[in-house]
């Protein structure tokens, strides 16, 4: 067994982070999980290492994970270490209790998955453990790559307030400038 398919009839937009972790993701079993019902929620899914199962189209909603998989391949996610928000030593935290961040860490750059459980649009900032990330904060930049039906290309500085819509999020690289 290499993955689980939890989620038949799940309402991914109305599940708490605890339900995502314990009930929907495969993390407690050491496996990845696929989202099923209605394509899931791609932002929240990334916080748990999940995408929708391919191919999956429902009710006119495009549920194609290939653009996210492309980012995984470009980043080399298979050689990254996943550190979830639920781990005490996660080196990336957010300033808002309804915004969660999980990282996929490599030696020279890190991919941050951010998802909102806030009920309204908000702005948040990150708190970084720069030593654990192995990045000089004076030379760091946050880049949101273009991902179709997910996010537009955007650049942030580490101290910026980052806007996020309810039930959405970001996939951001934190890396050295000019890398």
Per the structure block, which two tokens stand in for 153?
A: 């290309």
Please, where are the H alpha helices in 21-147?
42-47, 66-75, 130-133
Buried b (16+ CB within 10 A) or exposed e, 153-174: eeebebeeebebeebbbbbbbb
Per-residue pLDDT of the chain (179 residues; tens, 9 = 90+): 677 666 567 788 888 999 888 888 888 777 777 887 777 899 999 999 988 876 655 555 557 888 999 999 999 999 999 999 999 999 999 999 999 999 999 987 899 999 999 999 999 999 999 999 999 999 999 999 999 989 999 999 999 999 999 999 999 999 888 76
Query: pTM of whole model > 0.85?
Result: yes
């Amino acid at each position: 067994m290499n993955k689980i398919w939890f989620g038949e009839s799940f309402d991914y937009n109305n599940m708490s982070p605890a339900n995502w972790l314990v009930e929907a993701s495969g993390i407690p079993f050491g496996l990845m999980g696929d989202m099923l019902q209605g394509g899931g929620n791609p932002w929240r899914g990334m916080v748990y290492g999940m995408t929708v199962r391919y191919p999956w189209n429902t009710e006119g909603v495009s549920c194609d994970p290939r653009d996210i998989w492309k980012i995984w391949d470009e980043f080399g996610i298979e050689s990254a270490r996943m550190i979830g928000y639920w781990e005490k030593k996660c080196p990336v935290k957010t300033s808002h209790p309804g915004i969660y961040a999980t990282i996929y860490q490599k030696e020279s750059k890190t991919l941050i998955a951010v998802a909102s459980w806030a009920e309204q649009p908000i702005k948040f900032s990150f708190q970084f453990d720069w030593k654990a990330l192995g990045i000089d904060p004076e030379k760091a930049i946050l880049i949101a790559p273009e991902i179709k039906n997910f996010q537009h290309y955007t650049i942030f500085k580490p101290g910026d307030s980052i806007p996020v819509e309810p039930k959405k999020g970001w996939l951001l690289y934190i890396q050295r400038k000019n890398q």
